[in-house]
Amino acid sequence: MALEGAFDIDADRARTFVGEFGGRLYADLEAVLADPGVAIVANLTPVSQHYAVTKATLLAGKYVYSEKPLAPVLEQATELVELAKERGLLLSSAPSTVFSQAAQTLFKAVGDGLIGTPRLAHGNLDMGALAFMPYSEWRSRRGVPWPYWDEVPNGCVMEHAGYQLGWLVAMFGPVVRMAGHTALLLDDKWPELTKVAPDTSFGFLEFANGAVCRISTGWVAPVGMTLTIIGDQGTLSVRDVWQASSPVLRRRNVMESGKTNGYLAEAEQIPFAVPPVSHRYDDTHDLTAGAGIADMARAALAGGQPFLSADFSLHVLDVSLRLSEGWGVTEGA
Ligand SMILES: NC(=O)c1ccc[n+]([C@@H]2O[C@H](COP(=O)([O-])OP(=O)(O)OC[C@H]3O[C@@H](n4cnc5c(N)ncnc54)[C@H](O)[C@@H]3O)[C@@H](O)[C@H]2O)c1
């Protein structure tokens, strides 16, 4: 499969894109959907557009890889998943960091029993106090501003919890019980925005395999992107889940003599289980962008589902929405 082209309501952006990556410049979405050469549409629009663009694309009989989340509300996302299933179409959603070297190595290490039975996970997606950063000056390499006017009203959970949840669900299975608390602590720091959403979230998750997790997501606490898995025989940790090549470190349980509470050996790096993905997103974070689309193309050619299947993506969205709403204890998430 190859890149066929791009469409953006801002034609200059699509022009810049095809100028760099090649392909056709489409005049509108209808032109994309009418092109028999197009098998997969990557929906990279803002969250408010995800449902409409994905629905139109599925109705045109094409597969969709959507930026996260599938849709802003569960009803819309469920409708999209059902539509895809009815029509026999593949539907998948970012984040695709599950394909990173760090994630794949962690999954294999847990699966191979390197720390025995995994019992507990501590995950953080705290990106620092956004309100105190020069966010309005942030630009991509092509000079495009970071769209804080979209992201801040979506809230920290809807924007970022999926980065940890995807890894956890991939390792431990679906969430079966959960509780969450959210807060909006810096609501007075965004005078230019008419809507803001939770900037701090704590979740407590129990997974199908019995493991439990404490997850912190937000843009108030200082930067912390770690994931630590605690098992019967030691721990595995990744310092930064937003860096595809972040080392995976194991500390084995060792018996200490004497009066000490130390029981973990020095950290040892686990060799990466997979090579790096061939194209990396050239930014401050290495989010393995593109790997999800590549995996969907593989699934389309081979038959079967992508790793980030429609059901997987819907479950991650469901848990994110419950966390975002700050629900109390809920069963059968
Ligand atoms: N900014 C980030 O760091 C980042 C990282 C990962 C994922 N994402 C996700 O990617 C998506 C887009 O975010 P972004 O930061 O690239 O936003 P952006 O605003 O920079 O880009 C979105 C593009 O979509 C175009 N667009 C808007 N409506 C459209 C429509 N109906 N049809 C076609 N084009 C349309 C806009 O003109 C714009 O060029 C969001 O879902 C976001 O959650 C963003």
Amino acid at 49: Q
Ordered domains of the chain (ranges, CATH): 102-279 (3.30.360.10)
Q: Which residues contact 13 (CB under 8 A, 6 or more apart)?
A: 144
Distance, in Å, from the CA atom of 232 to the CA atom of 236, rounded to the nearest integer, reads 11
- 44 CA from centroid of ligand 1 (Å): 5
Residues having CB closer than 6 A to ligand 1 are 7-10, 13, 29, 44-47, 49, 53, 67-68, 144, 146-147
| Percent above pLDDT 90 for the chain | 87
Is pLDDT above 60 for 332? no
Which protein residue has the closest C-alpha to ligand 1 atom 27?
45
- 202 CA from centroid of ligand 1 (Å): 27
Distance, in Å, from the CA atom of 265 to the CA atom of 67, rounded to the nearest integer, reads 40
Distance, in Å, from the CA atom of 218 to the CA atom of 201, rounded to the nearest integer, reads 6
Distance, in Å, from the CA atom of 66 to the CA atom of 55, rounded to the nearest integer, reads 11
| Mean predicted confidence (pLDDT) in 66-77 | 97
Which protein residue has the closest C-alpha to ligand 1 atom 34?
8
Are the CB atoms for 106 and 171 separated by under 8 Å? yes
Ligand 1 test: best mutation among 12, 25, 67, most atoms within 8 Å of CB? 67
User: Given the CA of residue 283, which atom of ligand 1 is nearest to it?
Assistant: 3
Ligand 1 test: best mutation among 7, 9, 13, 16, most atoms within 8 Å of CB? 9
Is pLDDT above 80 for 330? no
Is pLDDT above 80 for 257? no
- 13 CA from centroid of ligand 1 (Å): 11
Closest by CA to 227, choosing from 325, 69, 78, 121, is 121
Predicted confidence band of residue 261 (pLDDT cuts 50, 70, 90): confident
| Mean predicted confidence (pLDDT) in 59-87 | 98
Question: SS3 of 295, please?
Answer: helix
